[in-house]
Amino acid sequence: MPKPAVSKPAVSKPAIAPKLSPATDAAAAGMVDLRELVPDLAQEIRYASSDNFVGRPVEGYGAARCYLLRPVAQALQRVELALRREGLRLKVYDCYRPARAVRDFVVWAGDLHDQSSKSAYYPNLDKSVLLGDYISPTSGHSRGATLDLTLLRCDSDDACTPLDMGTSFDYFDVSAHTDWAGATAVQRGNRQRLRAAMAREGFANYPLEWWHYTYKPEPSPDTAYDFPIR
């Protein structure tokens, strides 16, 4: 018998930003470094390092910093403070993403000869299908209202460990879909805990990636930014 088709969750595509802001730094864009609001925020900004699917620092990431539009950063600060009362914290992987970084991703995705990160990031997919659902020529991250993150459990000594989410960050696979049926009860509960905490402050999840959230309504949905992160 033929195998039943695997259905994908409904995905709301981000709107294409019609204009690029002339802002040359965070202040001009109305963005704030999240650590100004949460000084001890856990961060692992992957695209400023070589620990990512491209295998090198990504264009525009001159520093490991999390910039967000101020109202978005303030909402995330509220999420963090609420989670701390439960012995949890956030760990951020990516926030504002310069438009030049998105172009860098697209160039990488188009180079089908470079398969060096396949086993770690897309073992079950052909690289040619990454453009679209996983890598887009435009990104909500460039609008300053989208970020990637996970949850940490912290004990009384502030020693924190990541919760089991079932996959690593940026794992391009059906198992990273937020409502993946194959997740264990623990993994499903952790994903739901993150989604509920973010939703309380206005963040909506992208269903193909358990780590991906956008603040709604976006403060500047028609504007993308391209200032480098320094």
Q: Which pLDDT value is given to residue 116?
A: 97
Does some domain include residue 203?
Answer: yes
Does some domain include residue 58?
Answer: yes
Does some domain include residue 5?
Answer: no
- Give the CATH number, domain containing residue 198: 3.30.1380.10
Number of independent structural domains in the chain: 1
* Structural domain span for residue 51: 19-224
pLDDT bucket at 9, cuts 50 / 70 / 90: low
Q: What does the alpha-carbon distance between residue 142 and residue 95 come to, in Å, rounded to a whole number?
A: 9
Please say if the pLDDT value at position 177 is more than 50: yes
Q: What does the alpha-carbon distance between residue 218 and residue 101 come to, in Å, rounded to a whole number?
A: 21
Q: Which pLDDT value is given to residue 6?
A: 42
pLDDT bucket at 135, cuts 50 / 70 / 90: very high
Does some domain include residue 230?
Answer: no
Does some domain include residue 4?
Answer: no
pLDDT bucket at 18, cuts 50 / 70 / 90: low
Q: Are 96 and 225 in contact (CB under 8 A)?
A: yes
Q: Tens of pLDDT along 65-90?
A: 999 999 999 999 999 999 999 999 99
| CA proximity to 69, closest of 227, 219, 214 | 219
Does some domain include residue 3?
Answer: no
Does some domain include residue 169?
Answer: yes
**Whether this model's pTM surpasses 0.85:** yes
Please identify every residue annotated as catalytic: 209
Does some domain include residue 39?
Answer: yes
